[in-house]
Amino acid sequence: MLLTLALLATPVPTTTASYAVYDRVTHALTGRDVHRPIRSASLVKILIAIEQLETRGDDPRIEPMLRVSDDTAASELWVENGWEQLVVRTARRLGLQDTRPPEKRGMWGYTAVSAHDVVKVYRYLLEDARPHVRHTVMGHLRRAERCAADGFDQSFGLPDVTTRPAFKQGWSGFGDPVKPCTDRPRPRAEWDLDLTSPAMHTSGTCGFSIVAVLTLHPRGTSYDQAAKRVTRLTEEVTKYRC
């Protein structure tokens, strides 16, 4: 199914957006700027989980890292799995064209990704990964909670406009939440990459589609403003698909 010309011609104002939608029935990929590099924020946590499961085995920290986007769990697993080399290995193994490790090895959220590669990661999980890896990662993403570990509401984008998606969000550059989410979670190669503009991404599966919407916003944009823009764009992108 092709995106309408109206959607292609009218991107969300003031927001830099790239997106990709892959139909698992027709095998068609549609989108805009699908190979544009953008910093991953927490989307890289999916790669961290894949590397941990495929090379080191199960770890209880995978659950909070994926369900509530726990940064501490991600940082610990990042270091234990080889820092930036984790990205090098998984990108090579999964055949990711645009994914590159961060220039500062400790800044996992500065990993470069693209909408195309995010979709390809989900395709790998659904089509090629070992059953245990697939069931573990996708199982946690299907049970992702509304409130993230840092107090932000992560129900924007896919979970706001589709039914029962498996999803992983990413956000960066918004400071602390103005109004912390109240439904608290359970305890538990040079690139011209924009590392300063607030970033907000939504990705996952819904129906027979795999979706990745990656966005950058002007400085000063609030978390709620960005979330509304991402949700509106996601609703247009997924219309008649999910």
pLDDT band for position 157 (cuts 50, 70, 90): very high
pLDDT band for position 182 (cuts 50, 70, 90): confident
Strands of 209-216's sheet in order across: 29-32, 16-23, 209-216, 199-206, 166-172
Residue 12 scores a pLDDT above 80: no
CA torsion through residues 132, 137, 212, 94, sign: negative
Dihedrals phi, psi of 237, to nearest 5 degrees: -65, -35
pLDDT band for position 160 (cuts 50, 70, 90): very high
- Give me the mean pLDDT over the 41-60 stretch: 99
Q: Is 171 helix (H, G, I), strand (E, B) or coil?
A: strand
Contact indicator for 119, 127 with CB cutoff of 8 Å: no
The region that residue 70 occupies, defined by phi over 0 for left and psi between -120 and 50 for alpha, beta otherwise, is: beta
pLDDT band for position 242 (cuts 50, 70, 90): confident
Contact indicator for 238, 19 with CB cutoff of 8 Å: no
The region that residue 154 occupies, defined by phi over 0 for left and psi between -120 and 50 for alpha, beta otherwise, is: alpha
Average of per-residue pLDDT values in the chain: 92
* Residue whose C-alpha is closest to residue 170's, from 226, 238, 104: 226
pTM score: 0.85
- Give me the mean pLDDT over the 153-160 stretch: 97
In the CATH hierarchy, which fold is given to the domain comprising 5-238?
Answer: Beta-lactamase (3.40.710)
CA distance 6 to 68: 35
What's the angle, vertex CA 68, arms to CA 13 and CA 120, rounded to 5?
Answer: 60
**Per residue in 86-145, pLDDT tens?**
999 999 999 999 999 999 999 999 999 999 999 999 999 999 999 999 999 999 999 999
Residue 2 scores a pLDDT above 50: no
**Per mean pLDDT, which range of 34-43, 121-130, 186-195, 210-219 is the poorest?**
186-195
Q: Is 80 helix (H, G, I), strand (E, B) or coil?
A: helix
**Per mean pLDDT, which range of 9-23, 122-136, 155-169 is the poorest?**
9-23
Q: What pLDDT does residue 14 have?
A: 78
Q: What pLDDT does residue 86 have?
A: 98
Residue 29 scores a pLDDT above 80: yes
Residue 1 scores a pLDDT above 70: no
Tell me, what amino acid is at 191? Answer: W
Residue 4 scores a pLDDT above 80: no
Q: Domain segments of the chain: what residues? A: 5-238
Contact indicator for 129, 52 with CB cutoff of 8 Å: no
Q: What pLDDT does residue 89 have?
A: 98
Question: What is the signed CA dihedral for 9, 115, 124, 169, rounded to 10 degrees?
Answer: -110
pLDDT band for position 10 (cuts 50, 70, 90): low
- Give me the mean pLDDT over the 230-242 stretch: 92
Chain centre to alpha carbon of residue 182? 23
CA distance 46 to 125: 10
**Per mean pLDDT, which range of 22-26, 190-194, 238-242 is the poorest?**
190-194
